[in-house]
Chains A and B, each alone.
Chain A
Amino acid sequence: MKLAYWMYAGPAHIGTLRIASSFKNVHAIMHAPLGDDYFNVMQSMLERERDFTPVTASIVDRHVLAQGSKEKVINNINRKDKEENPDLVVLTPTCTSSILQEDLANFVTRASYESQADVLLADVNHYRISELQAADKTLEQIVRFYIDKEGPEFISKITKTKKPSVNIIGGFTLGFHNQHDISELKKIFAELDIDINLIIPDGTYVHQLKDLPRAWLNIVPYRETGLKTAEYLNSKFKIPYVDETPMGLKQIASFLRQIQKILVSQGWECNFEEYITNQTYFVSQAAWFSRSVDCQNLIGKKAVVFGDATHAANFAKILHYEMGIKVIWAGTYCQYDADWFKKEVSSFCDEVVITDDYNLMASLIAKSEPDAIFGTQMERHIGKRMNIPCGVISSPVHIQNFPLSYKPFLGYEGSNQIADLIYNSFTLGMEDHLLEIFGGHETSDEEPRGIIKTNQDSELKWTQDAHNELSKIPGFVRNKVKRKTEDFAKKNKVQNITLEIMYAAKESNSSI
């Protein structure tokens, strides 16, 4: 048993439902007790979805517990088949149903005799994999099913598209800014004169999946979903794939160069260098912005980064390579992908954090006292408590992370968005200077609430003068100054903190 207050990734069935409900005309039936259909609320509220979420529950109640589901699941599948005429019904086990150990595969076989729709059982183990892994797995399972359906001669019948084309794999329901990201990718490919063959799963019909092998290559913008499918298509049809995320100018360039290399190797002459230069230096504002004088104030600022593997790693790289910000540490809750993550960021971070424990996150943030945090909604709240600004860069997210306006994180427009986000997250420029010179707007004595209290050893006393001086220090650094002064006093065995001690502490530690 594990004492948990909060979790970064949800249970496996949520991943399966996110994939199933992203396809068009696919219905998911959860084998679940009453109340487990909370996914529908999230879809309807967070995505502000106008249609009914294509997910229903085949309820597990006391009777099912006593006698088994019997015909119930089969009837529910066949009923949904008649009511909605879906192309595919995905039967989704939940944590409850997986302990019941009913033969769901048998239900699926029997239901498919009668139903017009295809019926699949999502192959996910609730106690071993998380939401994101389940999503990855379910997507591959569905793709494999429809490829296999074409029969053994299928490979010989495949014809590639005339012009170079790509499949975009990933981007799904409740994904972090996924819809905007996909639009941005579409724009880039249109500008490079590369066709989009299919985008899966979002908005695609399952009967289109057999066209996947027509593409020249696959794009996997998010490591968390799509990698398995790309690997499968690679092993089955030798379709190369690019799993780099085009987030940040440096990574977009590398992403485009990889695509160029693949296309050239397939006999298509192309050169994206001019496009990359033009976009980087003249279309996107981010490169110029980080050169502009205002951004000099960012030098020496410190940040910490946390999120899913894709967003945290790429964001850390942007901070380090493109903004000149010191990334004290970067971390991810995708523990299963820890090796990749470490490889990506350890060259420039002092430390790499792999955890899904938010209490640990809170204490790490308190210890490192960054100038800004880039993380999930959880880190935003930790930051709020400690008075440290936070930009949200990854799921899990709230409704405000499903903005109505165009806010991609990928591509050149994404770089602009990210630059704004970073800049706005720091207290910067003139405001910063004025606060320092004139002692800030707020001079209340109230301590910012921190998780880790500063030294409260009773022997340390602040004189009135020193206390007044402390209260003049801007709120967002006051705690830090207080702690460092107290550390200095303790080190020098001083009990009364006077103005002199404060200044001496400041001299000894020029970083405050």
Chain B
Amino acid sequence: MQSKELSFECETGNYHTFCPISCVSWLYQKIEDSFFLVIGTKTCGYFLQNAMGVMIFAEPRYAMAELEEGDISAQLNDYEELKRLCLQIKKDRNPSVIFWIGTCTTEIIKMDLEGIAPKLEGDIGIPIVVARANGLDYAFTQGEDTVLAAMAHRCPKTILHAKEKPPLIVFGSIPDFTAKQLSLELEKQGIKVDGWLPSPKYTDLPDIPEGAYVIGINPFLSRTATTLMRRRKAKLINAPFPIGPDGTRAWIEKICSVYGVVPKGLEERELEIWNSLSDHLSVLKNKSVFFMGDNLLEISIARFLINCGMTVYEIGIPYMDKRYQAAELKLLETVCHKKNTMMPRIVEKPDNYNQIDRIYDLSPDLVITGMAHANPLEARNIHTKWSVEFTFSQIHGFSNAVEILNLVTRPLKRTAKLEVSRLTTI
């Protein structure tokens, strides 16, 4: 069982995850002057309205352009239809940008959103950014990747003078508060973050000159990284992601090394955080965990949990970009060696049915899974944590490490507290 290297497998892709259009729910909140128009069917709308829950009632800046039979059979003119809807949105909300989210249906009927957008943009005077966040190609958080990749094209581009220090742009959507915390950590090392993609306002998109340094904050941003490198000629800093104190330190150290700064006080800072987590760590020590995989944060969280003393049996993941995640995978391996624990198997495009068989065999202490499987597993006495919560919580940077452990330890602590769950004791 104790292999020296990580093993990668690929299954059937029959797994449960959220549709990538769900990125609308956090991106409309992040980009304050935006409006998201999802061009799809009732199925897309039904998913969004149920997945977003109460948010839907807060007059969100998002809507469906619901395709009707006339649209599918091309009896209606796509351009005219979209123009009518976008003018309505302009009148009601007057956003600084409209995002068109392409879906499976627009792919299949080959609606030329990228072709229509520039023309309509000219006609109505609002920028239109097209992202194809569909379930044919992507899973859950990858939706954000498609949107950010499309936004990368819209960032202004100045010329970098030869003597100038290349600016640092961080990409990935995180709450403003967390972004400020991370900027502050870098400031302590004398490094200034010159811009974030996305910025809180579309009108403040960061300037990305050729030769700028870019670094990702989330593991699911491969397309954005590729776009920034190939199309914007930026230089990607490949680092582990700032999730957990170990990841955060590695992330900052890597940035420092690029700018030729010797990091100071980082080791102490990491230690300080670990010490503050000791209560949680005692709960997690020698416990095992199984990731069914649905949001691409799995490698980073697994790496952090192994560092917390847990054993990870399996890391299911929708899509594994070994190049973009290279530094993170390397760190995972190092952590396994350091902790002298088994190398987890990484299963890309997992098969949920087979995974549940393996879960029965391994009986892990905790399964990190989607909501479709959580209650049925709990009913079989297997502790679960909903993976979606990791996406919607603040998990980045030193001070949010505790948030991750709050999530992970909650099911374990809860069962310890509930006397009624042990039916034999009543």
Q: Is the CB of B69 within 8 A of A128?
A: yes
Q: Is the CB of A10 within 8 A of B46?
A: yes
Q: Which residues of A contact B373 (CB under 8 A)?
A: 44, 52
Q: Which residues of B contact A13 (CB under 8 A)?
A: 43
Q: Is the CB of B42 within 8 A of A7?
A: yes
B135-149 contacts to A, CB under 8 A, are: 135-140
Q: Which residues of B contact A34 (CB under 8 A)?
A: 13, 17, 19, 135-136, 138-139
Q: Which residues of B contact A95 (CB under 8 A)?
A: 41-43, 105
**Contact residue range for chain B?**
35 or more
Is A438 on the interface with B (CB-CB < 8 A)? no
Is B206 on the interface with A (CB-CB < 8 A)? no
Q: Which residues of B contact A60 (CB under 8 A)?
A: 104, 136
Q: Is the CB of B68 within 8 A of A1?
A: yes
Q: Is the CB of B353 within 8 A of A127?
A: no
Q: Is the CB of B104 within 8 A of A41?
A: no
- Closest chain-B Cβ to A14's Cβ sits at a distance in Å of 7
Is B6 on the interface with A (CB-CB < 8 A)? no
**Contact residue range for chain A?**
35 or more
Stretch in B50-58, B114-122, B151-159, B242-250 touching the partner: B50-58
Q: Which residues of B contact A191 (CB under 8 A)?
A: none
In the complex, which of the residues A2, A36, A50, A53 contacts B379, with contact meaning CB atoms closer than 8 Å? A50
Q: Which residues of A contact B56 (CB under 8 A)?
A: 5-6
Stretch in B59-67, B209-217, B296-304, B418-426 touching the partner: B59-67
Known: A10-B42, A96-B104. A45 touches B375 (CB 8 A): yes
Interface centre among B18, B57, B372, by most chain A C-beta atoms within 10 angstroms, is B372
Is A350 on the interface with B (CB-CB < 8 A)? no
Q: Which residues of A contact B109 (CB under 8 A)?
A: 99
Q: Is the CB of B65 within 8 A of A33?
A: no
Q: Is the CB of A38 within 8 A of B50?
A: yes
Q: Which residues of A contact B136 (CB under 8 A)?
A: 33-34, 60-62, 65, 96
Cα–Cα, bound, A10→B47 (Å): 9
Interface centre among B50, B60, B370, by most chain A C-beta atoms within 10 angstroms, is B50
Q: Is the CB of A57 within 8 A of B68?
A: no
Is B262 on the interface with A (CB-CB < 8 A)? no
Known: A33-B134, A381-B57. A1 touches B85 (CB 8 A): yes
Q: Is the CB of B19 within 8 A of A3?
A: no
Q: Which residues of A contact B68 (CB under 8 A)?
A: 1-2, 127
Cα–Cα, bound, A57→B13 (Å): 10
Over the window 45-62 of chain A, the binary record of Cβ atoms lying under 8 Å from chain B Cβ atoms (1 yes, 0 no) is 100111111001101111
In the complex, which of the residues A10, A40, A83, A96 contacts B105, with contact meaning CB atoms closer than 8 Å? A96
Closest to B107 in A: A65
Over the window 120-164 of chain A, the binary record of Cβ atoms lying under 8 Å from chain B Cβ atoms (1 yes, 0 no) is 000000111000000000000000000000000000000000000
Interface residue ranges, A against B (CB under 8 Å): 1-7, 10-11, 13-14, 32-38, 40-42, 44-45, 48-53, 56-57, 59-62, 65, 76, 83, 94-96, 99-100, 126-128, 378, 381, 384, 398
- Would you give 12 A-B contacts (Cβ < 8 Å), ordered by A? A1-B65, A2-B64, A4-B45, A4-B65, A32-B135, A37-B372, A49-B375, A50-B379, A52-B376, A59-B13, A65-B108, A96-B135
Interface residue ranges, B against A (CB under 8 Å): 13-14, 16-21, 39, 41-43, 45-47, 49-51, 53, 56-57, 60, 63-69, 71-72, 76, 81-82, 84-85, 88-89, 104-105, 107-109, 134-140, 353, 356, 370-376, 379
Q: Contacts A3-B65, A3-B89 known; list 17 others, CB within 8 Å.
A: A1-B84, A2-B68, A3-B64, A3-B85, A6-B56, A7-B42, A7-B45, A38-B19, A44-B371, A50-B376, A52-B373, A53-B372, A76-B14, A96-B135, A100-B108, A381-B57, A384-B57
